[in-house]
Structure 1
């Protein structure tokens, strides 16, 4: 027969493990609701992202695609050189936002497949370009 203190120790360890697993599950469940994955337009096409799933869409603002709507509404196209996605945003754009520049839009695709952005982040440094877009930035700037 095992001593009583040994059984008690195993019970405490078991309860601690269950509590730790429960806490880890709560943390991951909370993080999952706030995660937004980054996609280029090509990756977004392949992934077939369901409407109302929060993501980040990144690429270059296609030259000639920016159009202003009523009030602060703006529509433009994001490209990665292979695919393009239409984006609609209502709000004040960053100062560095312009055609041919890198942009990351955070938001959701609507039922029509148009990306409705909640936040727009513009590229802030001429030296940085994501790996996926390295060959495109020069073409977009020169029009080649």
Structure 2
């Protein structure tokens, strides 16, 4: 191998190593910022055999349990229970809730998991209707049978 080819090969290997390390660092940084989505049942029973860890940042979605909303009269703090088809999870939030927030409504909250299946949320989003809910879950929770518009004759 000529010295010029050795030099080219060395440069290609150095550039490849730098590129691979840059991609590895970007993937590591992205992994730190991922918010995984869970339902209350998945928090209690695990998701694909893995349980969320205390202190993990996550998103949780479900229905606000009727009669579970407790508001602090002196602050904007509110606590409520969320459920899907199984156990409940308590969400605490300090801030102004969306206008569409109410008991029985579907919501998505982003926050940190604490001991005792409590989520300390820093964001609460109210779903505007049940169309955002998977059809199987809507049928189990509210008896709503999803019919495609093409089948309904619209």
CA shift for structure 1 position 3: 1.6
Pairs aligned (count): 139
- Root-mean-square deviation (CA, aligned residues, Å) is 1.9
What is aligned with 1:30?
Answer: 29
What is aligned with 1:3?
Answer: 2
Q: In the alignment, is the contact (CA less than 8 A) between 1:80 and 1:132 conserved in 2?
A: no
1:60 aligns with 2:59: no
CA shift for structure 1 position 111: 2.5
Structure 2 runs not aligned, ≥5 long: 145-154
CA shift for structure 1 position 40: 0.4
Secondary structure (helix, strand or coil) at the match of 2:131 reads coil
CA–CA separation in structure 2 for the residues paired with 1:49 and 1:127: 27
Secondary structure (helix, strand or coil) at the match of 2:132 reads coil
What is aligned with 2:150?
Answer: none
CA shift for structure 1 position 65: 1.2
Return the TM-score normalized by structure 1: 0.86
CA–CA separation in structure 2 for the residues paired with 1:94 and 1:32: 29
CA shift for structure 1 position 137: 4.8
CA–CA separation in structure 1 for the residues paired with 2:106 and 2:9: 57
Secondary structure (helix, strand or coil) at the match of 1:134 reads helix
Q: In the alignment, is the contact (CA less than 8 A) between 2:54 and 2:115 conserved in 1?
A: yes
What is aligned with 1:88?
Answer: 92
CA–CA separation in structure 2 for the residues paired with 1:127 and 1:26: 39
Return the TM-score normalized by structure 2: 0.81
CA shift for structure 1 position 88: 0.8
Q: In the alignment, is the contact (CA less than 8 A) between 1:94 and 1:120 conserved in 2?
A: yes
Q: In the alignment, is the contact (CA less than 8 A) between 1:86 and 1:115 conserved in 2?
A: yes
User: Whose RCO is larger (CA < 8 A, sep 6+)?
Assistant: 1
Structure 1 runs not aligned, ≥5 long: none
